[in-house]
């Protein structure tokens, strides 16, 4: 009997298994009718909530009632912008010429004056570093918004003196004294042009006089100040015409130890004195001659920051000195390379020079120079030769000096590291001699974009500093958490944080605030004193800055409108300003941040591989760099939202020259969809009927204006009356003024006073307005006032709107108590942003009473308005306007990407408000409305709807609803990101990373389109322990062994910190790193004791895991495949079996969302794996994966600057031999020794 029961049980079990198998082989199809019902119910809830909260229809009705449209004419726009920028630049040039005249006049007057005595004092910009008895304190420094909120004094200038320049040297102190007289010109310039930025004079002696006076910022990490004006782009470009430079470095057996270190410093300093209009290469020679970067063979490369960095890395990897040098082969190869560039009109097409760095030469090579450089006699030699003799010994210097003097160069003997930077720059005045001898010609140069006082060469150091901080952080975390440090979730979190940090490189130019990006114009100043002995003395360079923010402001972005923009390109094809210029990663400048080509930001919609640029964009680039005027249409693709979304569009490019500069302005319009803008009603044009009520439009505090747009501004920031804490305070102030006056408006600031003697061209002065101290953008200000009137009280009208009462759902919502409404829909905030930069909001919950959620380390999210004040530039604004082209009734929904704090996640919904013309049905974006609500409410709504069964659909709750194990349900947005699913932890993830095979099928079936985006501004991170096939063996000097010893000691200290009970270390660490992760997750409840034991890591192996993998940032190209939903979804596709398409989907009406149901019973029919939307590095195998090598080989054409090339003068040979070189005697100060030690330390780190 018992056995019979067992047999029956086995039989029944077998039947069940067969049934399961049959069901697996024949899974139930997804009920399309049920899916449609769910989608309709989701639409009903979301749509009515959005309409009720935002009051969209009421706002649209108000705009359509009065507002009109006006077209955007690209040709007129680009002409106006280029005209405005030209006017701005002309004023800068006039100011510069006044400074130049003052410098040359004052220098002549003071030429015969004796140097001042020891009692002479200067206003040193580094008072903490200056000797007290030689320094005048900088008093009455006041923060000034015009100068990046730096405390300044606009009545006098201050001087910056490099650390290694002796400020009491006779030539330095004499120039400091006479240059004080420049303050008169500085002040008058600022009074004539209030928009003028910093003015400065950089002397050949090393100091820089800057107006207005400021105190030089301290280094946050107490490192020495390495700033030297003679190394800055504005100085090196103005000091001499463009140049081709070939650096020859001796690597024979005698160049050991200190000589090699000095030689490397010489090469790096020479490279630092070059600009993007120069071309360069470095050759190392002994018995053979080779390039330090092999792929730069037989060529010169443009001296961009990226190429300079590549050359410096090549210099680091020079092999051990050996053999005997063959100077003839090296010099011959250098001359032949330079000759090839002359004959083919390549490179700088002006000056040429050879820099020879060695510890001695066997002869003077007279015959070689005669053959290669004196073909047309010594008067017309094409190449200058500069010689740098290395070493403390005093070898025979006659031949080295003769080589320099006979070839119009300069000779320097260097015996210590500390004298390198000061002595190397002596070549610049020599290159400038023809310019000085011509006297009358002062070329005006314009620099590319660069960071104000920041040294971009500090990128490696700053990144290493961040990694050191991370190492310390991890060590302390390990000390506190012990074995939990190695738990999988904690290790995964550290890896996510690391990747997030490396991927943080998408901050565009107007959102990054740490670095002041500028372009500068500069002119060389000559010593015009007539002397019996022929000399050609360069006094220095005068210059002034044009902030990149001023250029963006001059482009009137509010007139261009959403998804339209303007940008500026140089003669080299490089971007000066562009909305997709992303110059930083984290807070660190990218290695190539200022040499981004126009082809690298304007991406043509084509299937080409990386760096195979389409002919259409290359043609446009040619027109731009050659400064023509015209227009072209190109279909492009562009990304946004941290490179997670992409779209294609047809853009119409209009371009026009900015006369007198190397710049071309380009306006890019999407004329098909965004060719019109809102024109305000006539009654607001003169404020005749609304002047008295202006302040009523801005009564409450729940509004913000675009912080970077010019509404109204004082010409001078003179103090409390003209300084404002916020843009909103400033606006209120000017609204009061406007309400009281009917004076004219003017966009350009008036001068404080005017003297005809300062208007060299008789230019007409701008019209005064208000009281002559302030100015406004009338068009923008009136648009703002109109928008404020329209949007005032828009959210409080919701419950009184009679039109809403016609909608039963809206009536129901209006009757719900506030607490019930918030509970059901989780709405936290409603907002509206307008085309004039105004953003209003209304909170639905009291943020001050919302407690911080400590679960899962969650932190309360910042308020919406803290991160969303840029109106038309915000992602939700742009997406809403773009999606209006797909469906003009749609709300666009989004959630944060890969959000870990699920409990506090908010959903953002937005919809565009357009003004439509009754005559021609054209329309223009006026505003975007939206709201935020808790994701938990959406999750609950999604769950409640998709668990329902309806009899008419024939569904079975156990099989067909989303609660069934047979169904996986998702809400996806139009770019494939998960908005809601059964697993809340999937929120914000890319669907391909969760269900890769299904996403692949949807792409194949054209439900989602693939858009490949190349990021040509990428930064990748190479692990320092990776093999580098391009590197040679290192020089194992005693310093290298000392470095190894220090590294071992640091490792042991970290080990002790992790395993000892040093309370003092813990207390210090807690004081510095208060945000050490709190590992509260109880993983003991997840894993068994044996599993937990397997996570335990001890001894040296634990230290290996605690140590981070050191990396070095490098420029790289990245590629990512992004996806966008097709406008017409093919909902019904015929297949042989149900599992051939194991999913069904429906569009959620009037949203950017789809409801997707996946049949969990179907086996995966594709071998596709999960994939994400994280950019990957593009590898260029032909050049050993070097991006700079690839770019050098496939270099794009450029146009040489229009400034005249002045490279020779017939009187130059008359300059005495004593003017072509000298040895050096250096006075070493404690400060100099400290800076040398710091430089040495940073240098040997990479040995």
User: In this predicted model, which residue has the larger pLDDT, 1025 or 90?
Assistant: 90
Element housing 842 (H / E)? strand 838-843
Q: pLDDT band at residue 163, thresholds of 50, 70 and 90?
A: confident
Look at residue 1092 in the predicted model and tell me its pLDDT: 43
Convert the pLDDT of each residue in 395-411 to its tens digit.
678 999 999 999 999 99
Same domain, 684 and 661: no
Same domain, 224 and 306: no
User: In this predicted model, which residue has the larger pLDDT, 940 or 903?
Assistant: 940
Query: 634 phi and psi, to 5 degrees?
Result: -140, 140
Is 755's pLDDT higher than 70?
Answer: no
Cβ atoms 604, 613 nearer than 8 A: yes
Look at residue 742 in the predicted model and tell me its pLDDT: 60
Alpha carbons 657 and 903: distance in angstroms, whole number: 53
Same domain, 246 and 376: yes
Look at residue 544 in the predicted model and tell me its pLDDT: 96
E strands in 94-241: 142-144, 150-153, 158-160, 199-203, 208-211, 213-214
Element housing 651 (H / E)? strand 645-657
Q: How far is CA 720 from CA 144, 752, 968, in A?
A: 10, 18, 62
Alpha carbons 502 and 1142: distance in angstroms, whole number: 37
Same domain, 490 and 406: no
Average pLDDT (441-459) is 82
Nearest to residue 905, comparing CAs of 987, 821, 823? 987
Strand 712-714 vs strand 575-577: parallel, antiparallel, or unpaired?
unpaired
Q: What percent of the chain has pLDDT over 70?
A: 75
Q: How far is CA 861 from CA 858, 1027, 1054, in A?
A: 9, 43, 35
Look up the domain containing 118 and give its range. 95-228+520-544
CATH number at residue 577: 3.30.450
Is 1071's pLDDT higher than 60?
Answer: no
In a domain, 23, yes or no: no
Same domain, 907 and 813: yes
User: In this predicted model, which residue has the larger pLDDT, 672 or 531?
Assistant: 672
Q: What is the total residue count of the chain?
A: 1247
Is 1073's pLDDT higher than 50?
Answer: no
Q: Which residue has the tokens 């002595």?
A: 423
Alpha carbons 369 and 716: distance in angstroms, whole number: 59
In a domain, 1162, yes or no: no
Q: pLDDT band at residue 428, thresholds of 50, 70 and 90?
A: very high
- DSSP summary character for residue 212: S
Is 1165's pLDDT higher than 90?
Answer: no
Convert the pLDDT of each residue in 308-341 to its tens digit.
999 999 999 899 999 899 999 999 999 999 999 9
Look at residue 205 in the predicted model and tell me its pLDDT: 93
Same domain, 501 and 419: no
Structure tokens at 493: 């979190």
Structure tokens at 1158: 């996946």
Is 152's pLDDT higher than 60?
Answer: yes
In a domain, 1021, yes or no: no
Radius of gyration of the chain (CA): 34
Same domain, 155 and 113: yes
Alpha carbons 1214 and 414: distance in angstroms, whole number: 27
User: In this predicted model, which residue has the larger pLDDT, 929 or 469?
Assistant: 929
Cα atoms in the Cβ-side hemisphere of radius 13 Å centred on 256: 8
Same domain, 653 and 705: no
Same domain, 501 and 525: no
User: In this predicted model, which residue has the larger pLDDT, 1211 or 525?
Assistant: 525
Same domain, 667 and 686: no
Q: pLDDT band at residue 1068, thresholds of 50, 70 and 90?
A: very low
End-of-domain residue from the set 759, 776, 791: 791
Is 24's pLDDT higher than 90?
Answer: no
Cβ atoms 976, 999 nearer than 8 A: yes
DSSP β-bridge partners for residue 451: 517
Is 16's pLDDT higher than 80?
Answer: no
Cβ atoms 540, 204 nearer than 8 A: yes
Alpha carbons 974 and 1008: distance in angstroms, whole number: 8
Alpha carbons 194 and 550: distance in angstroms, whole number: 12
Q: How many CB atoms lie within 10 A of CB 280?
A: 24
In a domain, 80, yes or no: no
Same domain, 849 and 764: no
In a domain, 435, yes or no: no
End-of-domain residue from the set 791, 812, 835: 791
End-of-domain residue from the set 1056, 1076, 1108: 1108
Q: What angle do CA 656, 659, 662 make, to 5 degrees?
A: 85
Q: Which residues contact 1035 (CB under 8 A, 6 or more apart)?
A: 256, 260, 320, 321, 1247
Instruction: Report the domain count for the chain.
Output: 6
What is the pLDDT of the chain when averaged over all its residues?
A: 81
In a domain, 146, yes or no: yes
Which range has highest mean pLDDT (239-253, 950-964, 1213-1227)? 239-253
Convert the pLDDT of each residue in 837-895 to its tens digit.
999 999 987 655 444 343 444 456 789 999 999 999 999 999 999 999 999 999 999 99
Same domain, 259 and 212: no
Nearest to residue 312, comparing CAs of 370, 257, 349, 270? 270
Give burial (CB, 10 Å; 0-12/13-18/19+) of 14. Answer: exposed
Angle between helices 32-54 and 56-66 (to 10 degrees): 60
Alpha carbons 645 and 975: distance in angstroms, whole number: 6
User: In this predicted model, which residue has the larger pLDDT, 689 or 381?
Assistant: 381
Q: Among the listed ranges 243-257, 263-277, 1221-1235, which one has the minimum average pLDDT value?
A: 1221-1235
In a domain, 940, yes or no: yes
């Amino acid at each position: 009997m018992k056995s019979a029961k067992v047999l029956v049980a086995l039989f029944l079990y077998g039947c069940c298994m067969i049934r399961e198998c049959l069901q697996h082989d024949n899974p139930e199809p997804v009920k399309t009718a049920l899916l449609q019902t769910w989608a309709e119910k989701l639409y009903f809830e979301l749509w009515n909530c959005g309409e009720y909260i935002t009051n969209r229809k009421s706002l649209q009705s108000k705009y359509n009632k009065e507002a009109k449209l006006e077209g955007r004419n690209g040709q007129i726009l680009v002409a106006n912008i280029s005209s405005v920028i030209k006017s701005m630049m002309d004023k800068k040039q006039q100011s510069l010429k006044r400074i130049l005249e003052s410098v040359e006049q004052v220098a002549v007057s003071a030429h015969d004056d004796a140097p001042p005595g020891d009692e002479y004092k200067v206003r040193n910009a580094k008072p903490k570093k200056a000797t007290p008895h030689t320094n005048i304190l900088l008093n009455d420094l006041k923060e000034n918004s015009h100068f990046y909120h730096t405390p300044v004094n606009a009545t006098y200038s201050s001087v910056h003196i490099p650390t290694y320049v002796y400020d009491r040297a006779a030539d330095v102190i004499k120039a400091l004294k006479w240059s004080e007289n420049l303050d008169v010109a500085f002040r008058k310039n600022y009074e004539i042009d209030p928009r003028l930025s910093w003015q400065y004079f950089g002397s050949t002696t090393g100091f820089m006089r800057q107006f207005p006076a400021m105190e030089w910022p301290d280094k946050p990490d107490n490192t020495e100040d390495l700033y030297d004006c003679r190394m800055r782009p504005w100085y090196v470009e103005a000091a001499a015409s463009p140049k081709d430079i070939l650096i020859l470095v001796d690597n024979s057996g005698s160049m050991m130890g200190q000589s090699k270190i000095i030689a490397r410093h010489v090469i790096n300093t020479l490279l630092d004195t070059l600009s993007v209009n120069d071309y360069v290469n470095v050759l190392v020679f002994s018995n053979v001659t080779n390039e330090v970067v092999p792929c730069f063979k037989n060529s010169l490369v443009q001296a961009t920051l990226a190429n300079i960095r590549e050359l410096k890395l090549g210099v680091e990897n020079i092999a051990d000195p050996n053999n005997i040098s063959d100077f003839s082969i090296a010099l011959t190869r250098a001359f032949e390379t330079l000759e090839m560039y002359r004959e083919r009109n390549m490179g700088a097409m002006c000056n040429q020079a050879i820099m020879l760095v060695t510890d001695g030469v066997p002869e003077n090579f007279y015959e070689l120079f005669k053959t290669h450089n004196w073909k047309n006699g010594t008067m017309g030699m094409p190449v200058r030769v500069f010689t740098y003799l290395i070493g403390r010994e005093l070898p025979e210097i006659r031949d080295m000096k003769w080589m320099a003097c006979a070839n119009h160069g300069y000779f320097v003997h260097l015996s210590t590291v500390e004298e390198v930077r000061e002595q190397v720059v002596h070549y610049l005045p020599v290159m400038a001699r023809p310019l000085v001898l011509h006297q009358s010609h002062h070329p005006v140069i314009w620099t590319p974009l660069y960071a104000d006082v920041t040294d971009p060469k500090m990128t490696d150091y700053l990144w290493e500093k961040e990694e050191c901080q991370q190492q310390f952080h991890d060590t302390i975390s390990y000390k506190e958490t012990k074995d939990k440090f190695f738990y999988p979730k904690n290790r995964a979190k550290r890896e996510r944080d690391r990747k997030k940090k490396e991927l943080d490189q998408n901050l565009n130019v107007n959102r990054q605030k740490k670095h002041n990006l500028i372009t500068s114009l500069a002119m060389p100043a000559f010593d015009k004193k007539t002397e019996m002995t022929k000399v050609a003395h360069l006094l220095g360079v005068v210059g002034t800055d044009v902030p990149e923010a001023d250029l963006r402001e001059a482009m009137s972005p509010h007139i261009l409108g959403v998804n339209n923009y303007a940008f500026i390109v140089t003669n080299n094809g490089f971007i000066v300003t562009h909305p997709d210029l992303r110059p930083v990663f984290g807070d660190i400048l990218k290695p190539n941040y200022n040499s981004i080509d126009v082809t690298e930001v304007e991406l043509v919609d084509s299937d080409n591989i990386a760096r195979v640029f389409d002919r259409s964009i290359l043609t446009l680039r040619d027109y731009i760099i050659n400064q023509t005027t015209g227009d072209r249409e190109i279909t492009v693709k562009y990304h946004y939202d941290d490179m997670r979304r992409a779209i294609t569009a047809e853009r119409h490019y209009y371009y026009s020259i900015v006369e007198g500069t190397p710049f071309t302005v380009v306006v890019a319009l999407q004329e098909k969809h965004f060719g019109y803008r809102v024109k305000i009603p006539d009654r607001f044009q003169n404020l005749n009927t609304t002047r008295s009520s202006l302040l009523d439009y801005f009564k409450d505090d729940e509004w913000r204006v675009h912080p970077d747009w010019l509404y109204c501004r004082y010409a001078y920031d003179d103090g409390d009356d003209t300084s404002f804490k916020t843009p909103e305070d400033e606006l209120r102030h000017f609204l009061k003024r406007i309400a009281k006056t009917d004076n004219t408006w003017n966009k350009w600031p008036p001068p404080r006073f005017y003297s005809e003697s300062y208007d060299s061209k008789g230019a007409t002065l701008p019209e005064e307005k208000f009281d002559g101290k302030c100015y406004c953008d009338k068009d923008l200000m009136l648009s703002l006032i109109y928008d404020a009137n329209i949007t005032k009280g828009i959210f409080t009208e919701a419950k009184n709107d009679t039109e809403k009462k016609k909608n039963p759902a809206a009536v129901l919502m209006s009757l719900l108590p506030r607490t019930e409404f918030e509970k059901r829909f989780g709405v936290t905030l409603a907002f509206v942003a307008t085309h004039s930069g105004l953003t209003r909001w209304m909170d639905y919950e009291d943020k001050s009473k919302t407690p911080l959620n400590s679960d899962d380390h969650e932190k309360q999210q910042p308020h919406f308005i803290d991160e969303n004040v840029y109106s038309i530039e915000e992602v939700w604004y742009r997406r809403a306007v773009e999606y209006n082209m797909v469906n003009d009734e749609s709300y666009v929904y989004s959630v944060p990407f890969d959000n870990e704090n699920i409990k506090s996640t908010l959903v953002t919904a937005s919809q565009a408000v357009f003004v439509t013309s009754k005559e021609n049905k054209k329309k223009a974006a006026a505003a975007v409305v939206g709201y935020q609500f808790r994701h938990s409410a959406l999750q609950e709504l999604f769950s409640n709807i998709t668990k329902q069964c309806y009899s008419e659909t024939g569904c079975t709750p156990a099989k067909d609803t989303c609660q069934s194990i047979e169904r996986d349900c998702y809400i996806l947005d139009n770019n494939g990101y998960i908005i809601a699913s059964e697993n809340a932890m999937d929120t914000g993830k890319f669907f391909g990373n969760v269900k890769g095979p299904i996403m692949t099928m949807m792409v194949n079936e054209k439900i989602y389109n693939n858009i490949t985006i190349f990021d040509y501004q990428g930064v990748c991170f190479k692990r320092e322990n990776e093999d580098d096939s391009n590197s040679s063996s290192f020089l194992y000097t005693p310093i290298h062994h000392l470095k190894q010893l220090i590294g071992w000691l640091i490792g042991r200290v970290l080990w002790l910190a992790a395993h000892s009970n040093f309370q003092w270390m813990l207390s210090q660490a807690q004081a510095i790193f208060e945000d050490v992760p709190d590992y509260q997750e109880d993983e003991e409840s997840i894993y068994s004791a044996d599993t937990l034991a397997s996570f335990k890591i001890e001894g040296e192996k634990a230290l290996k895991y605690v140590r981070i993998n050191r990396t070095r940032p490098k420029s790289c190209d990245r590629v990512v495949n992004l996806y966008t939903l097709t406008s017409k979804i093919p909902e019904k596709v015929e297949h042989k079996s149900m599992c051939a398409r194991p999913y069904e989907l429906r569009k959620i009406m009037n949203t950017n969302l789809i409801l997707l149901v996946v049949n969990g019973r179907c086996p995966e029919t594709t071998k596709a794996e999960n994939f994400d939307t994280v950019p990957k590095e593009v590898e260029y195998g032909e050049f050993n994966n070097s991006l700079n090598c690839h770019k050098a080989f496939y270099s794009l054409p450029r146009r040489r600057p229009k400034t005249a090339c002045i490279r020779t003068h017939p009187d130059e040979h008359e300059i005495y031999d004593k003017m072509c070189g000298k040895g050096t005697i250096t006075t070493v100060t404690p400060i100099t020794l400290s800076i040398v030690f710091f430089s040495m330390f940073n240098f040997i780190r990479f040995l």
